[in-house]
Amino acid sequence: MKHYVILGLLTTALYGCSDNVASINGNDVSKEAFQSYLKLKNIPETNAPQVQRVLEEYAKREALAAAITETDFLDMNAVEMEVNEFRKQVLISRYFDQYLNDKVDDAAVANYYAAHAESYQAKKAHLAHILFRVRPDMDEAERTAKLTAASEALSRINRGEDFAEVARSSSEDTMSAGKGGDLGWMKEGAVSNEFSHAAFSLAPGAVSEIVSTTFGYHIIKLIDGPQVVSQSLETVAGDIRYLLRQQAKDAEAETLMESVDLEVSQWAE
Domain boundaries for CATH 3.10.50.40 within the chain: 118-230
Q: Are 128 and 162 in contact (CB under 8 A)?
A: no
| Number of helical H runs and strand E runs in the chain | 10, 7
74-100 burial, b at 16+ Cβ within 10 Å, e below that, comes to: eeeeeeeeeeeeeeeeeeeeeebeebb
What pLDDT score does 10 carry?
Answer: 47
pLDDT, residue 2, reads 54
118-230, what's its fold? Answer: Chitinase A; domain 3 (3.10.50)
Q: Per the omega criterion (within 30 degrees of 0), is the bond before 226 cis?
A: yes
Cβ contact 183:128 at 8 Å:
yes
**pLDDT (tens digit, 0 to 9) for every residue of the chain, 269 residues total?**
455 565 544 444 454 446 898 998 888 989 999 999 999 999 999 989 999 999 999 999 999 999 999 998 999 999 999 999 999 999 999 999 999 999 999 999 999 999 999 899 989 999 999 999 999 999 999 999 999 999 999 999 999 999 999 999 999 999 999 999 999 999 998 889 999 999 999 999 999 999 999 999 999 999 999 999 898 999 999 999 999 999 999 999 999 999 999 999 988 87
- Which helix (H) or strand (E) segment holds residue 215: the answer is none
- What per-residue confidence (pLDDT) applies to 26? 87
CA-to-CA distance for 46 and 48, rounded, in angstroms? Answer: 6
Q: What is the DSSP letter of 8?
A: S
- The closest alpha carbon to 176, from 191, 161, 189, belongs to 191
User: Is 220 exposed, middle or buried (CB count within 10 Å of its CB: 0-12, 13-18, 19+)?
Assistant: buried
The angle that helices 48-69 and 31-40 make with each other, rounded to 10 degrees, is 110
What phi and psi, each to the nearest 5 degrees, are found at residue 28?
Answer: -80, 145
Distances (CA, A) of 4 to 24, 26, 34, 50, 70: 4, 8, 15, 20, 14
